[in-house]
Chain A
Amino acid sequence: MNNDLLSLRRWGFSFMIYIVVPAYNEQKKIGRVIRDLFQHGYKNVVVIDDGSSDDTYVEAKKTGVQILRHEVNRGQGASLQTGNEFALKQGADIIVHFDADGQMSVEDIGHAVEKMQRENIDIILGSRFLGKTTGIPWTKKNIILPLARLFNNFFSGLKLTDAHNGFRILSRHAAEKIMITQEGMAHNSEITAQIKKLNLKYAEYPVKIVYNEYGQGVGGGIKIIRDLLINKLIK
């Protein structure tokens, strides 16, 4: 993170924190998630409606939040890249990636940002395995996620406790340097690979994820591996 910004803060200048919320068919949850963010004082929020076929856009619009809309569904990776570019254009100093499904806790944002500024970190990656998350489905916890960790470490060379977590905080520097080209779920591994390549200072942070739905299963995992392999071959 830029040292100038740190000293700016000491002089009383405030950081612009931008929350990027990629959303696909979350008409039931998006309203609550956005209002929750607003209530916690985060005014700069942008929702990326990734070509939802339901009323995600309408429901989000009711909250008055800024929305970008992908005309066709491109995937979460593409949505996050769109959100990053938008937030950077608005002058964001810190960009937060936050899920639209209501599984993440807004409280985690503030503490993670504090850690980021205190320790001069470029990118914070959320982790379910540092204590705060309970109730992870058995197959996920003992089979799918360990396998995901293995593949992530293979593809990116970074040793993370949680290879596939949508909670992310990027400094402006990190957001400018990182380019998400993987459109689907494989963007998680792509980001960690770029962290290694760009030598960014990173840290994991314990986050609370509430499990109401299963999320990515084995089929999803296979798709991710396929995308990463295709990308390696094509490059």
Chain B
Amino acid sequence: MILFQIFFSLFIVFVLIKTISRFRSKEINVGWLSFWLIFWLVAEIVVIFPNLSVEFAHLVGIGRGTDLVIYLSLTLLFFFFFHLLTKVEQQKKEITKLTRKISLMEAKIENCKIKN
């Protein structure tokens, strides 16, 4: 357990540095920065103080802390995946709209050229 806590903590430090640098180079906004900071800090706390997850799990009626972590993680993951899917479909439709407009415009230009 201790070895994992060390490796994980190093990983968290690395991730936090990356996240902050991404924010500085304007790749992500304040909203996402806050989200990921909180997310990774909570993860770090759960790993450093594993008993916390056990207590929390008992609070909501689940046997093991690990189980609770897994349930929550899976739920979050599925939600985000579905959200992403929706966004991708939306983007596909938007790209098609643009592609169509370009093709119609190009045809107009060509036909104008032919007329003149």
Contacts and interface: CB of A to CB of B under 8 A. Distances in A.
A181 B106 contact: no
A122 to B, nearest CB: 24
Q: How big is the A interface, by class?
A: 20 to 34
Interface residues of B, number: 14
Contact of A181 (B85, B93, B103, B107): B93
Q: Is the interface of B mostly helix, strand, loop or mixed?
A: helix
Nearest to A183: B96
Q: Is the interface of A mostly helix, strand, loop or mixed?
A: mixed
A69 B102 CA distance: 8
A68 B95 contact: no
Contact of A74 (B86, B89, B99): B99
Contacts of A181: 93
Contact of B100 (A67, A81, A230, A234): A81
Contacts of A66: 107
Contacts of A81: 100
Given A70-B99, A71-B99, 8 more contacts: A66-B107, A72-B99, A78-B100, A82-B104, A183-B93, A183-B96, A230-B85, A234-B86
7 contacts: A69-B103, A71-B99, A74-B95, A78-B99, A82-B100, A89-B104, A231-B89
Interface of B: 85-86, 89, 92-93, 95-96, 99-100, 102-104, 106-107
